[in-house]
Structure 1
Amino acid sequence: MRQKGAVMLFGAALCAVNLPAMAADWRCGTDIIATADTQTDLASRPTPVWRDVQLNIDAVDAFSVSDLPGKSFRLADLGFVPGVEDAARAWLERARANKVSIMPLSEQADFLGRTPVLINDPVVGDWREVLLAAGLAMLVPETGQDISHLIGIEDTAIQSKSGMWSDQGAETAYYVVADDAADGDSPTASNAIGRFAVIDGTIRSIEHQEWRSYLNFGSNWREDFTIALDATLRDSFAQGGDFQGVLDTWVGQKVRVRGVIENRGGPYITLDNPFWLCLSLGEGVQ
């Protein structure tokens, strides 16, 4: 029965990645105001590729290859969460039957010695797309690569409540909204304090100080959701321009951010990576 279940999961994930596009048009990180793609272009630099590789699935986030001793890999820009790790591993174990190509997306391994990679499968394509479409992984951008297509796939999974996104529990949901006025059916950022989550909301005001800017999602910053941008991050968004002029155009726009929610009077995120914040450029998640 376990093998049958894995086959069904494999097929369901394949179907999910081919669903009609329903996602909002999100623009993330420094690409929010860029006139050209400022993210890393894989074609612009030589990158080693290992082809026709048979992977060993050592963990949901650690792979090895018998012919490449001493090397460990993980899928770039993805994170796995409790509750769907077993389902994700079942899919990976099924997918490893295919020989794949591995392309490193970072020159440096992480603190556990794993190199972030893109895995391309001749049957299903990019493994990340399938896992995101099925809600078996979430985006945790880290490599600076173009993630626009991945954001769209994850957004469709969120809207469809696939996999992890089906969890609507106040204490366990991975998707929350900035305040209950935005979506009465979804938990709010206040419910997710102390946890990593994906949060949607509309910016109501922005306060600029010498070393930080604060994106406020309610009328009372002492109680409502806030995102803090340090001087380095806000300058990266401005791309050499006037950061106040750039950020102030965001007021009234829908934002998606991800990170650990702290309690600083109200729910609060200190943004760690510019690509963890996206602006919606069209209709999308309500």
Structure 2
Amino acid sequence: MNKQSSRPTALELWLERNATFPGNVTRLLHLIVACLLVAARGASATPCQFESQGEGRVTAIDARSLRLDDGREIRLTGIEPTATTKQALTTLLVGRDVILRSADDTPDRYGRQGALVFVGESDISVQATLLAEGDAIVSAEIADKDCAAALMAAEAEARRQKKGSWADLSAIKNAESPDDILAGIGRFVVVEGKVLSVRQAGAMTYLNFGRNWTRGFAVTISKRMIPAFESAGIALKSLENKRIRVRGWAEGNTGPRIDVRLVGQIELLGANEPTGVRP
């Protein structure tokens, strides 16, 4: 739910003062003003302003979650931590009053409430602040398109400026170097490269980045995910010979894999953007 003011806008006040025009003119003015109001409110809406799910004071922190003074444990949705996340969170949040926002307050299997966290009345989430400083990585779990785009934009700017973890050349793995990706098994990684082939085997689609399908890096996508990609305007076969950035948990034994379960885990790269290098 987006947070909107109930106060009348300048357009609404103007319409009230000029409500004595002939009927057909008044109806036309109402239509024009209604369209302008919708456009204005849409443009001014701040991303990630979901329904409030409570508030509290932060008493303890780790890299993935924080604890409030009422005992609740809050998981920071939308991001994955880096080596600097915990220290950055400690500076930002310990002893501070926060507001929790999310579309759903159902606890996860560990009893943690997932939420975007805001300090006081700030419109900028703590997650966006971490991403903008290179102290976190987008997890792609946020379904709301505007919020997801805002978080991704914050990360992209940190990559561009080589902030935080992005100052390390190994922060983005090259799909042509599977051994480097294998070294990150069990960790959340970001990989860039060219998809050499798209193959389907049973209920799984494989995006292959190497000619040796056994040892090369590959992305796996379950058949049940295909409708979600199609709804986003992406035909998996169209990714062949395209350069992409993919994020997720590195797994595999002989050849590294990332299992894609969310459309946002895959980004198309520009034609002139070099593989394995930050934009």
* TM-score when normalising by structure 2: 0.67
Q: Check conservation: 1:179, 1:188, Cα contact below 8 A.
A: no
2:66 maps to amino acid: F
For structure 1, list consecutive stretches of 5 or more residues without a partner in the other structure. 1-40, 181-186
1:230 Cα deviation after fit: 1.2
The 5-angstrom pairing of residues 52-71 of structure 1 reads 53-66=56-69, 69-71=70-72
Show the counterpart of 2:78. Answer: 77
- Cα 1:254–1:116 change in 2 (3 A) is same
Show the counterpart of 1:233. Answer: 225
Return the match for 1:110 from 108, 111, 121. Answer: 108
The 5-angstrom pairing of residues 32-181 of structure 1 reads 47-50=51-54, 53-66=56-69, 69-81=70-82, 83-93=83-93, 96-97=95-96, 99-121=97-119, 122=121, 125-146=124-145, 147-168=148-169, 173-179=170-176
1:106 Cα deviation after fit: 2.6
Identity fraction in percent: 23
The 5-angstrom pairing of residues 182-261 of structure 1 reads 188-239=180-231, 246-261=235-250
1:264 Cα deviation after fit: 4.8
The 5-angstrom pairing of residues 3-18 of structure 1 reads none
- Cα 1:166–1:240 change in 2 (3 A) is closer
Hey, what's the Cα distance between the residues in 1 that align with 2:202 and 2:64?
40
1:162 Cα deviation after fit: 1.9
1:263 maps to amino acid: G
- Cα 1:263–1:240 change in 2 (3 A) is closer
Hey, what's the Cα distance between the residues in 2 that align with 1:54 and 1:193?
36
Show the counterpart of 1:272. Answer: 261
* Higher share in helix: 2
For structure 2, list consecutive stretches of 5 or more residues without a partner in the other structure. 1-46
1:283 Cα deviation after fit: 5.9
* TM-score when normalising by structure 1: 0.66
Q: Check conservation: 1:61, 1:80, Cα contact below 8 A.
A: yes
Aligned residue-pair number: 226
1:194 Cα deviation after fit: 4.5
1:268 Cα deviation after fit: 1.9
- Cα 1:256–1:233 change in 2 (3 A) is same
Show the counterpart of 1:30. Answer: none
- Cα 1:109–1:214 change in 2 (3 A) is same
User: Structure 1, residues 223-250: CA drift from partner, whole Å, max 9, x if none?
Assistant: 3211111111123212399x8xx21211
Question: Matched residue of 1:249: which SS?
Answer: helix
Hey, what's the Cα distance between the residues in 1 that align with 2:87 and 2:100?
22
Hey, what's the Cα distance between the residues in 1 that align with 2:66 and 2:87?
16
Hey, what's the Cα distance between the residues in 2 that align with 1:283 and 1:106?
40
Q: Check conservation: 1:76, 1:105, Cα contact below 8 A.
A: no
User: Structure 1, residues 163-204: CA drift from partner, whole Å, max 9, x if none?
Assistant: 222334xxxx44212115xxxxxx843443453311111212
RMSD: 3.2
1:157 Cα deviation after fit: 2.0
Hey, what's the Cα distance between the residues in 2 that align with 1:194 and 1:49?
32
Hey, what's the Cα distance between the residues in 2 that align with 1:224 and 1:208?
16
- Cα 1:194–1:104 change in 2 (3 A) is closer
- Once structures 1 and 2 are overlaid, which stretch shifts more, 214-223 or 264-273? 264-273
1:140 Cα deviation after fit: 1.7
Between structure 1 and structure 2, the one with the greater Rg is 2
2:107 maps to amino acid: A
Hey, what's the Cα distance between the residues in 2 that align with 1:86 and 1:200?
26
2:51 maps to amino acid: T
User: Structure 1, residues 36-88: CA drift from partner, whole Å, max 9, x if none?
Assistant: xxxxx978xx834436x43333434333443xx3432232112223x314422
User: Structure 1, residues 130-169: CA drift from partner, whole Å, max 9, x if none?
Assistant: 101111112223342331121122122234332222334x
